[in-house]
A = this chain, B = another copy of it.
Amino acid sequence: MDIQYEIIENIVVLSESPKGWTKELNLVSWNGRDPKYDLRDWAPDHKKMGKGITLTKEEVLKLKESLGSFN
């Protein structure tokens, strides 16, 4: 099955591996649906996607709040 996706907004690239895979937080629309926040590994040029997890806006806000004292 083909998964259609569109990266609406790149929020941050967290890191890049020696092979060029990047760990990114993006706003992604899957199969034309409403976009979700998405923390995931991507191959160079976003040609392949690795493991990741989607987040709602509420979850991102709660994550932000919880990281306030992280150091």
Contact = CB atoms under 8 A, between A and B. Distances in A.
Count identical subunits in the complex: 2
Given A15-B59, A59-B14, A53 B67 contact: no
Interface in A1-22: 11-12, 14-15
Contacts of A60: 67, 70
Contact of A11 (B23, B55, B64, B66): B66
Interface residues of A, number: 26
A16 to B, nearest CB: 11
Contact of A53 (B51, B61, B63, B68): B51
Interface of A: 11-12, 14-15, 23, 25, 39-41, 51-53, 55-56, 58-64, 66-68, 70-71
